[in-house]
Each structure stands twice: as C-alpha cells, then as structure tokens.
Chain A
Amino acid sequence: GAGVSQTPSNKVTEKGKYVELRCDPISGHTALYWYRQSLGQGPEFLIYFQGTGAADDSGLPNDRFFAVRPEGSVSTLKIQRTERGDSAVYLCASSLGPGGNSPLHFGNGTRLTVT
C-alpha cells in the first residue's frame, strides 16, 4: 500500500520567504508527527497530531512555525519569514496511534534550503 508521502522533496527559498511543506500520511493512521533533522543530529521533535488536534506542539522552535491537520489526514507545516538556520530535512511520520506499540512510518523528507 501507499506509504507516507512528503512534498516537495526539495525546496530552496530565499531568507524571509514563506514556505509550506506537505505530508500525506498512511490512510487510517490517526497520529502524525513532524521532525526536523540537521546534519549529524537525530530527528528533533517539532509537533504531533492525534486526529485533527495538535496533541503536543512543544517542539516548535518559535512562532514562525505552525502546522495544521484540518481533516485529520494531510498535514501542512508552515514556516514564515524563513531564516538560514531553518535549513534542514523535515521528516513526517504517521502511526496507528500515539506511539506505544505503534511504530512510526516515515516519509522521505523535504530538504529545505534557505539562501
């Protein structure tokens, strides 16, 4: 079956611009996670959704970052006034439930480069 899909796979933008990153989870997966990964680091937690609501957004670095999941399926991560430090691979993952016995299924990531 279809896995987690992330678009675009690569995004180059200028400092100060707005970007949207999209994640299409596996059908039926209620939990959806966003992570950010910089070179040499493990995935850094940003936010996770259970259904339509953000169950934990404690990892969003500041108010330039926002994520939505209006119908409990597709999610969009939005970054305003991008900065060079936002350059990273943004990973999305989904699971049947919020962790526990449910492993995460990851997309291939979006590589964001802010010039």
Chain B
Amino acid sequence: ILNVEQSPQSLHVQEGDSTNFTCSFPSSNFYALHWYRWETAKSPEALFVMTLNGDEKKKGRISATLNTKEGYSYLYIKGSQPEDSATYLCAFNTPGGKLIFGQGTELSVKP
C-alpha cells in the first residue's frame, strides 16, 4: 500500500511569518510529486509538478524542494499573507499514472 504523509495536519501563523510543511512519500519507483492548493469553496489548484531529485521550484512567495532518494518534499511560504490560508495537498504520481494524495496541511494565516 502506497502511503503519502503530510505534516503538520494544521498550522496557524501570523501574517508575515514564514512557514514550511512536509510531504513524505515512497522513495522507490518515483515518477513525480505534485503540490496543490485548495481554498475553501474552490477546487484544488496546481502549484508545482516536480520530477527530478534536488529540484527546486518557485512561484512568488511559495517554493518547494524535492528529495526522491529519501522520499520527502518541503513546501515553503515566505511572509505568509491571509490569502495564503488554504489546505496544501501533495500527491505522489506512480509510474502507472495514478496520483495518491496526502491528507493535506491546513494553513490559517491571521492578520
């Protein structure tokens, strides 16, 4: 059974704080790792698709790193804003094409 774990489950920070969370996934048969952001009352939106060990991707104040050998990815948010409040999901893409999601990290940023 493929297991994708995210930690922490929830995070409450103040506006301006920087934060990070973790996604752990199987280190064997790696194909790709996806990050999504899911705001309340909207549909999940893709942030990053990462395929190479050591890859780093950035989108504005959000960045992600990937370590396929040890099976983890970090998502960083620099200078959190209230509009960053959302659930952040990672998904492990198997070579067969199936994407398995973690349970998500719920981020709340207070002004």
Q: Tell whether, in the assembled complex, residue A99 and residue B32 are in contact, meaning their CB atoms are under 8 Å apart.
A: yes
Q: Tell whether, in the assembled complex, residue A45 and residue B46 are in contact, meaning their CB atoms are under 8 Å apart.
A: no
Q: Tell whether, in the assembled complex, residue A45 and residue B97 are in contact, meaning their CB atoms are under 8 Å apart.
A: no
Q: Tell whether, in the assembled complex, residue A55 and residue B97 are in contact, meaning their CB atoms are under 8 Å apart.
A: yes
Q: Which of B31, B32, B101, B104 contacts A35 (CB 8 A)?
A: B101
Q: Tell whether, in the assembled complex, residue A42 and residue B104 are in contact, meaning their CB atoms are under 8 Å apart.
A: yes
Q: Which of A35, A58, A100 contacts B93 (CB 8 A)?
A: A100
Please tell me if A102 contacts chain B, counting CB pairs below 8 Å: yes
Residues from chain A with a CB closer than 8 A to the CB of B6 are: 42
Using C-beta atoms within 8 Å of the partner chain, give the interface range for chain A. Answer: 20 to 34
- Look across to chain B and name the residue whose beta carbon is closest to the beta carbon of A93: B44
Q: How long is the Cα–Cα vector from A62 to B85 in the complex, in angstroms? A: 36
Residues from chain B with a CB closer than 8 A to the CB of A55 are: 96-97
Please tell me if A108 contacts chain B, counting CB pairs below 8 Å: yes
Residues from chain A with a CB closer than 8 A to the CB of B51 are: 100-101
Please tell me if B43 contacts chain A, counting CB pairs below 8 Å: yes
| Closest CB in chain B relative to A6 CB, distance in Å | 9
With contacts A91-B43, A107-B43 known, is A102 near B98, CB below 8 A? no
- Look across to chain B and name the residue whose beta carbon is closest to the beta carbon of A35: B101
Residues of chain B from 1 to 29 with CB closer than 8 A to chain A in the complex:
4, 6
Please tell me if A25 contacts chain B, counting CB pairs below 8 Å: no
Q: How long is the Cα–Cα vector from A100 to B98 in the complex, in angstroms? A: 10
Can you name 20 A-B residue pairings with CB atoms under 8 Å?
A3-B43, A33-B99, A42-B103, A50-B97, A56-B96, A91-B43, A98-B97, A99-B31, A99-B93, A99-B97, A100-B49, A100-B51, A103-B34, A103-B36, A103-B46, A103-B49, A104-B34, A104-B36, A107-B43, A108-B43
